[in-house]
Every structure is written in C-alpha cells, then in structure tokens.
Amino acid sequence: MKLKGYLMIAGLIAIISSCGDSAPKGDNASIQEKQETAEAKGTQFTVDTAASRVRFVGHGVGKNHPGKFKLSSGSVAVANNQITGGSFTIDIKSMDLEQKGGMFDSKLRPHLMSGDFFDANKFGTARFEITGVQPYTPSGTDTSIVDGANFTVSGNFTLRDVTKNISFPARVDLDGNTLKATSNFDIDRTQWQMRYGNNKTLGDKFISEKVNIELDLQAKKQ
C-alpha cells in the first residue's frame, strides 16, 4: 500500500510539474515583409522606460524560460485619440531571466546572448517602428486573449539586423497625459535567423520556434 501511495504522489507531482511547464499561449502575430513607417503626427508621448517592459517566454520539451528586456528609449504620437506613429528601442543586453542561480546565470543567459540566439555583442538593440494602427473587432474564432483589445498594431520589428513587419491585437488606453498599451502574442523566431535547436529530431533538446511576447508600454505626454 505504501508503494502505491508513493506512486500516486509521484504521478500527481509529475502532472503538476508538466502543467507548470506548458507553453504560454498568445495571439498569433502575422509576419510580413518590411513596410513603410507611419508618419508620427500629433502630440508626442515619451515612453516611460522604467515602467515599461518586454517579457518573453522561450520553451522546449517540458521547460519554459521566461525573461524581460528593458526599453532604452521610445515615443508615440497621438492625434484625435488615435496613435499615428512611433517607435521604441529594446536593450538586448538588459535581459533579466526570471529563473535565477546555477545554470540559468552561468550557462543559459550567456548562451542566449551568444551568436546562437541574440548575438548581443554584435546586435545590442532591437527596434519596433509603427507602420499602422487600426481598430480591432473580435469575430468568431478571431478573439484576442488580451482583455479589452481595441486596436491592431502593425510595425517593423528589427532584430539581428533583420526587419519583418508584425501585426497583433493590443489594448490601448489614453487618459489625459498618459498612454498605456498591452499585448500578448507569439512570433516565429526563425524569421529573424534565430534557428538554434529548432529541429524536432533533437528530442528533449528541441526548442520551439515560437516565442511568447508580452508588451507593457507606458508613455507620458511631453
């Protein structure tokens, strides 16, 4: 009976652990070739780099690796309560992994900074430049996981000197002197020449091409 009890407990722990390592699910961002940048007309809002963040989760077989990047600069233009343009720059070297100590600090972070992934010594920043903002209306199965999503944001995302245009739902709130924007979407890292580990023949060493991105942007009127 004791052995059965231990096996049941072990099974429950395995199930709980497996659930905790399940890949996060975001909106499916569409990816296209580089587009013309929108002209930033109207009132300028400066991104609050201390209050803003870009969170990511990379995942493989039975494991997730979440982390955050800081923004080094950014601005958004607003006219008639509508975003007309803007851009922000991500400091790649600011990466802060949420898993601390041991191999995360000594092996994982240096590996992510290497040429296999971000190649941070060569490409120390990433950039997002708005190309268009359109009203978002959920319909049928096309419903954003972002509560209150009200716009579809499109922009040129440059990473490792590769630029692709991505579009995703977002919630944008404008309250007097403050603008807030949140989004949660998935992108395919191989579109930016980041292919390390993306081979299913690797078994438990396989790393998914999908990366989950959570954007939390806050900006203040100049």
Q: Where are the domains of the chain?
A: 26-221
3-state SS record for the chain: CHHHHHHHHHHHHHHHHHHHCCCCCCEECEEECCCCCCCCCCEEEEECCCCCEEEEEEEECCEEEEEEEEEEEEEEEEECCEEEEEEEEEEEEEEEECCCCHHHHHHHHHHHHCCCCCCCCCCCEEEEEEEEEEECCCECCECCCCCCCCEEEEEEEEECCEEEEEEEEEEEEEECCEEEEEEEEEEEHHHHCCCCCCCHHHHHHCEEEEEEEEEEEEEEEC
Question: What is the average pLDDT score of the chain?
Answer: 88
- What whole-number percentage of the chain has pLDDT above 70? 90
pLDDT of residue 20: 42
26-221 is a CATH 2.40.128.110 domain: yes
Per-residue model confidence as pLDDT tens digits over 6-19: 434 333 333 333 33
pLDDT of residue 22: 66
* 105 pLDDT above the threshold of 50: yes
Higher pLDDT: 139 or 41? It is: 41
0.85 cut: is pTM over it?
yes
Q: In which band, very low, low, confident or very high, does the pLDDT at 101 lie, cut at 50, 70 and 90?
A: confident
